[in-house]
Amino acid sequence: MSVAKTIAEQMEHASWIRRMFEIGARLKQQRGEENVFDFTLGNPDGEPPEKVISVLRRVVDQNRPRSHAYMPNAGFTAVREVIARQLSEQTGLAYTADHILMSVGAAGAINVVLKSLLDPGDEVIILVPFFPEYQFYIENHAGRMVLVDTDDTFQPNLGRIAAAITPRTKAIILNSPNNPTGAVYSTEFLLDLEALVSGLDHPVTVIADEPYKSLIFDGLTLPVIPSLIRRTVLAYSWSKALAIPGERIGYLALSPCLPELEALRDACTFANRILGFINAPAIWQWVMAEVSDLQVDPRPYQEKRDLLWEGLTRIGYEVTKPQGTFYMFPKAPIADDLAFVRGLMDEGILAVPGSGFGRAGYFRLSLTIPRRTIERALPGFERALHKI
């Protein structure tokens, strides 16, 4: 067989996603689309703001000279300057175009920085439950994923992180607001983490993966990680903020406080090239220069969170209320989350087992569905709980 064992094993490990998709498609065929309540999708609800589309039209019509040519691997300087100005205002730090690398989404940004930081066998700490792709991103660069559990409300514990750090630890990935839990990490925790990281005798970089940064509920203010943790590399994308995940546009921002800034910037720029991204999509870079601070309204997601959270807790589910994102991570009423998700399927409800995110005994629901679907699914959630 010509396919490498490594990727075959990774595909097997990730096959629950494909299985869920296949089961969903079969259920829809059997019961009719309208009788299947699909809570598995991570695709943002609705269309991008009209302004994004009108700027896109204008950028295409303008057809600037050399618009479609190769460019510096970090992206157009003028675009990076805009992002840098915006970040400087948000963080109080002196970002310039030199700190910004335009990327192929947040996924591209994370791969670029991991490629730049990891030697084979180096370790990356991940907080559980976690976005499952992290494991593959780390393995892409021969790193080793080290899992550290969060508490029952999905908040991190500094002592557990400290205990997991070894001389091989190169990075810690923080994802707040979090997929799959919707948890937001507190300023106190971030300051404690800064004290921990800055006291180490070798550099450990915090990668703040923040594609859900603008989807925050209840008027909460999201702590600004680069202002609190000096060794921060920010991975951002507009996939969720502007409902454009298919356009693959984001950036990596290296903190001006990083002591080895120049070397890391050069490494990331080179990594962007040799990973085959070369540069982020050209047209979308120009669009972002004009709409970078725009975002979709998080209130419809918040309203759906309230509807689903109130419905599920009234029925008897234990659910930590998400503070952001468009996900919810309720506790399954039995330890076997796979069995419970199968029970939900009997009611036409599709959910993702918590085991896929490293935390068995839970399941993930996505709010990227119409309100009406939530209302119609609640009786099924109730029957599934009572059957148990």
Ligand X SMILES: Cc1ncc(COP(=O)(O)O)c(C=O)c1O
| Options 61-69, 99-107, 144-152, 337-345: segment touching ligand X (CB under 6 A) | 99-107
Token couple for 190: 């971030």
Residue 321 phi/psi, 5-degree rounding, is: -70, 120
- What is the nearest approach in angstroms of ligand X to the Cβ of residue 44? 10
Site map 113..132 versus ligand X, x via CB under 6 A: ------------------x-
- What is the nearest approach in angstroms of ligand X to the Cβ of residue 110? 7
| Comparison of 24 and 42: residue with beta carbon closer to ligand X | 42
| Options 102-110, 276-284, 289-297, 370-378: segment touching ligand X (CB under 6 A) | 102-110
Nearest to 382 by CA among 322, 320, 308: 308
Using the CB atoms, write b or e for 33-48: b if 16+ within 10 Å: eeebbbbbbbebbeeb
Interface with ligand X, residue 42, by CB under 6 A: yes
Distances (CA, A) of 22 to 9, 27, 133, 221, 355: 20, 9, 20, 39, 18
Nearest to 153 by CA among 330, 357, 335, 351: 330
Compute CA 357 distance to the chain's CA centroid, rounded to the nearest angstrom: 12
Among positions 135, 181, 239, 292, the unique one binding ligand X when judged by CB under 6 A: 239
| Options 5-13, 69-77, 105-113, 302-310: segment touching ligand X (CB under 6 A) | 105-113
Interface with ligand X, residue 48, by CB under 6 A: no
- What is the nearest approach in angstroms of ligand X to the Cβ of residue 10? 17
Among positions 175, 272, 320, 366, the unique one binding ligand X when judged by CB under 6 A: 175
**327-328/363-366 β-pairing:** antiparallel
Neighbours of 200 (CB within 10 A): 13
HSE-up of 270 (CA within 13 Å, CB side)?
9
| Comparison of 104 and 384: residue with beta carbon closer to ligand X | 104
3-state helix, strand, coil in the chain (%, to 5): 45, 15, 40
Interface with ligand X, residue 272, by CB under 6 A: no
Among positions 73, 116, 237, 285, the unique one binding ligand X when judged by CB under 6 A: 237
Total residues at the site for ligand X (CB under 6 A)? 13
Compute CA 280 distance to the chain's CA centroid, rounded to the nearest angstrom: 18
Interface with ligand X, residue 211, by CB under 6 A: yes
| Comparison of 211 and 380: residue with beta carbon closer to ligand X | 211
Among positions 40, 91, 176, 179, the unique one binding ligand X when judged by CB under 6 A: 179
- What is the nearest approach in angstroms of ligand X to the Cβ of residue 277? 11
Alpha helices in 118-157 (DSSP H): 133-140
Q: Is the peptide bond before 245 cis (omega within 30 degrees of 0)?
A: no
What is the DSSP secondary structure assignment for residue 118, as one 8-state letter? P
| Comparison of 145 and 261: residue with beta carbon closer to ligand X | 145
Interface with ligand X, residue 358, by CB under 6 A: no
Among positions 44, 48, 75, 105, the unique one binding ligand X when judged by CB under 6 A: 105
- What is the nearest approach in angstroms of ligand X to the Cβ of residue 352? 12
Binding site for ligand X (CB under 6 A): 42, 105-107, 131, 175, 179, 209, 211, 237, 239, 245, 250
